[in-house]
Amino acid sequence: MTAYLLTAAFSYLSGSIPFGYLLVRLVRGEDIRKTGSGNIGATNVSRKSPKLGILTLVLDALKGFVPVALALFLGRRAAVQPYLLASIAAFFAIAGHIFPVWLHFRGGKGVATGLGSWIGLAPKGVLVMVIVFVVMVALFRYISLGSITAAGIFPAASWILHDYHDAPAILAVMAASSLLIIAKHHPNIRRLLSGAENKFGVKPR
């Protein structure tokens, strides 16, 4: 139990590092939360600076990947199930990004952190998620729609492709992670339904 609690705490703290906010603050002296969509993630940061947006994307993915990789490493040497421990790390890294303690629990959408978190555990499921994201954005030009659809398809793809280590608990954590990401997109869902969502490549209204 101690291993799971420590993993959850470390993963949450790792995920809660607000790289997008920090980069824009350090490089441009601005608060990214006061421009564009107000989000601290890579999409909104890229509206200020494409280079900073790419760097934010990489760092947000890494802050999910690192605790999962560490959980796998330590789990194989402790009396715990390494894949289950790593799935807990993935979920709490995503939760940390979405609800960072440093920013009054108002963070990003969790997509990049989710990708980084799950790629080491369910690479086939993540590949399907990336493909779905690219196709949806290419067809409809909505980043949010691509993100929501990709998050929604991830647990199903992992189940169909047997990419959940045959552990129902891990599949449940995958589903919980996807639901968390989708729930965080609730303002985007409202704008998509009303036709007010911004398209990729178009400045926010």
Q: What is the DSSP letter of 165?
A: T
Tell me what percent of the residues of the chain surpass a pLDDT of 70: 98
Distance CA 43, CA 99 (A): 18
Asked which of 77-81, 164-168, 173-177 is least confident by mean pLDDT, the reply is: 77-81
* Number of separate helices (H) and strands (E) present in the chain: 10, 0
Alpha helices, H only, 37-167: 42-48, 50-75, 82-98, 111-118, 123-140, 143-160
Output the pLDDT for position 203. Answer: 59
pLDDT band at 79 (very low <50, low <70, confident <90, very high): confident
| pLDDT greater than 70 at residue 204 | no
pLDDT reading at 117 higher than 70: yes
**Residue 205 pLDDT > 60:** no
Q: Does the pLDDT of residue 196 top 80, yes or no?
A: yes
For range 162-166, the mean pLDDT: 95
User: Rg of the chain's alpha carbons, rounded to an integer?
Assistant: 17
What mean pLDDT comes out for the span 172-177? 98
**pLDDT band for position 37 (cuts 50, 70, 90):** confident
Q: Are 118 and 67 in contact (CB under 8 A)?
A: no
pLDDT higher for 78 or 12?
Answer: 12
Per-residue model confidence (pLDDT) at position 1: 76
Average pLDDT score over the chain: 95
Give this prediction's pTM. Answer: 0.95
3-state secondary structure of 116: helix
Encode pLDDT of 50-63 as tens digits.
999 999 999 999 99
